[in-house]
Amino acid sequence: EAQVTQNPRYLITVTGKKLTVTCSQNMNHEYMSWYRQDPGLGLRQIYYSMNVEVTDKGDVPEGYKVSRKEKRNFPLILESPSPNQTSLYFCASSSTSGLAGANEQYFGPGTRLTVT
């Protein structure tokens, strides 16, 4: 089954304790992206990756890091989490073939992070 998986699904942590949220897709997609969803703000892009070893900042990259060492994986790293990073996080992937940007993004199930 074609899917995007994220782990963990729920995480409660304390300020300053480094954490990683994993994201993996099995569709051989070149493009992957991370979003955070906050009430009243919709989804905002954190980072995206066009392919292996190619990453770039989205709209809200502060406090986050990413890496893309393999095509299928795109982990999100919070080196020193703070309470304002409490949010619902979604990973997404899509193909880049065909008309630029017209491909559907497939979303993972989400990771609900609470930083106390």
Partner 1 sequence: AQSVSQHNHHVILSEAASLELGCNYSYGGTVNLFWYVQYPGQHLQLLLKYFSGDPLVKGIKGFEAEFIKSKFSFNLRKPSVQWSDTAEYFCAVNARTGFQKLVFGTGTRLLVSP
Interface contacts to partner 1, rule CB under 8 A: 31, 33, 35, 40-45, 48, 50, 56, 58-59, 90, 92, 99-102, 104-105, 107-110
Q: How far is the CB of 32 from partner 1 (least distance, A)?
A: 11
**Amino acid letter for position 86:** T
Q: Closer to partner 1 at the Cβ: 78 or 90?
A: 90
**Amino acid letter for position 106:** Y
Q: Closer to partner 1 at the Cβ: 13 or 95?
A: 95
Q: How far is the CB of 100 from partner 1 (least distance, A)?
A: 5
**Amino acid letter for position 13:** T
Phi, psi of 112 (to 5 degrees): -95, 115
Q: Closer to partner 1 at the Cβ: 11 or 18?
A: 11
Q: Burial of 71 by CB count in 10 Å (0-12 exposed, 13-18 middle, 19+ buried)?
A: middle
Per-position b or e across 15-24, b if 16+ CB within 10 A of its CB:
eeeebebebb
Q: How far is the CB of 73 from partner 1 (least distance, A)?
A: 18
Length of the chain: 116
Q: Closer to partner 1 at the Cβ: 17 or 95?
A: 95
Q: How far is the CB of 8 from partner 1 (least distance, A)?
A: 15
